[in-house]
């Protein structure tokens, strides 16, 4: 279980002990300890030799009853001890428990936001951490800034009584993987309006009967994926040619390569195929 602390002042001022756990971020990797044979968040005494003196450390909260901190480092030695290994963040999200994922997602989101919010955007004064919540306060003009979250929609469009799902290949996908239609919510736009817009812009399809399914934090660096299922209404499914290079209607018996287990896209696809 992961219990995060909202008090940003406490996050920035509480000092770690050698036995405390750490989320260590290095580019798009995280550092894990294999002292016990299975990957765990390392303790401070395992990684303190890699922390520059000026490195900012944030207190995240408690992970399974233990204090947990976050740090981002720019460099690691080419050779690490056998007990320490780097793991891609994507892999970590697919393979490790929810409590670990929550700690990593909070660490990545908080560190990315804090690195770009040092000064007030209105009067340029240096910001200070709030002692009551997760905000940053300008001591001059009293403007308040909170961690930013970028909401995005991802939708499984179905037809033929849910037996077929619209899957697409995005030009940025690795290999020949196909997934659901997704996109960010724009300013002034509702989640539902964003869903309708994205499906129409990318696939030339209209949908109806939207149903919320689940959500997933996606820390690249601060997305929140809101997953829906919708029914096909009208139009001919056609890739936009910009983001999508191909798309089609697929069933549980006949489908291309799917996203990795652990992703919200795969969870929604499996849910539909298993309950067809």
d(CA 28, CA 201): 30
What is the pTM for the complete model shown?
0.90
d(CA 104, CA 96): 10
Residue with tokens 């309950």: 275
The whole-number pLDDT of residue 53 equals 83
pLDDT for 276: 64
Q: 41 vs 22, 63, 76, 99, CA distance in Å?
A: 6, 10, 16, 11
Mention every residue, 6+ apart, whose C-beta is less than 8 A from residue 241. Answer: none
Vertex 102, ends 100 and 108: CA angle to 5°?
100
DSSP secondary structure code for residue 42 in this structure = P
Count the helices and strands in the chain (H runs, E runs). Answer: 6, 15
Q: What is the mean pLDDT of each run of 10 residues along the chain (276 residues)?
A: 94 95 96 92 96 90 96 92 95 92 95 94 97 95 96 98 96 93 97 98 98 95 96 98 96 95 95 88
Alpha-carbon 172 to chain mean position: 17
């Amino acid at each position: 279980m992961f219990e995060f602390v909202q008090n940003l002042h406490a996050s920035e001022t509480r000092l770690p002990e050698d036995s405390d756990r750490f989320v260590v971020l290095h580019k798009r990797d995280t550092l894990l300890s294999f002292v016990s044979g299975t990957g765990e968040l390392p303790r401070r005494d395992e990684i303190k030799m890699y922390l520059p003196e000026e490195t900012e450390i944030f207190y995240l909260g408690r992970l399974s009853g233990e204090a947990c901190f976050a740090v981002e480092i720019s460099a690691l030695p080419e050779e690490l001890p056998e007990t320490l290994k780097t793991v891609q963040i994507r892999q970590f999200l697919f393979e490790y428990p929810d409590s670990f994922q929550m700690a990593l997602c909070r660490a990545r989101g908080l560190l990315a936001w804090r690195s770009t919010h040092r000064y007030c955007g209105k009067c340029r004064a240096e910001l200070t951490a709030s002692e009551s919540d997760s905000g940053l306060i300008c001591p001059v003009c009293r403007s308040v800034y909170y961690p930013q979250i970028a909401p995005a929609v991802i939708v499984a469009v179905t037809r033929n009584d849910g037996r077929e799902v619209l899957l697409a290949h995005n030009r940025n996908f690795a290999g020949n993987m196909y997934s659901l239609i997704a996109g960010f919510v724009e300013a002034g736009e509702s989640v539902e309006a964003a869903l309708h817009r994205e499906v129409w812009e990318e696939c030339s399809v209209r949908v109806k009967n939207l149903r919320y399914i689940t959500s997933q934090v996606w820390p690249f660096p601060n997305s929140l994926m809101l997953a829906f299922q919708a029914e096909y209404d009208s139009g001919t499914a056609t890739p936009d040619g910009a983001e999508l290079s191909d798309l089609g209607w697929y069933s549980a018996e006949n489908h291309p390569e799917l996203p990795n287990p652990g992703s919200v896209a795969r969870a929604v696809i499996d849910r539909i195929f298993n309950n067809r």
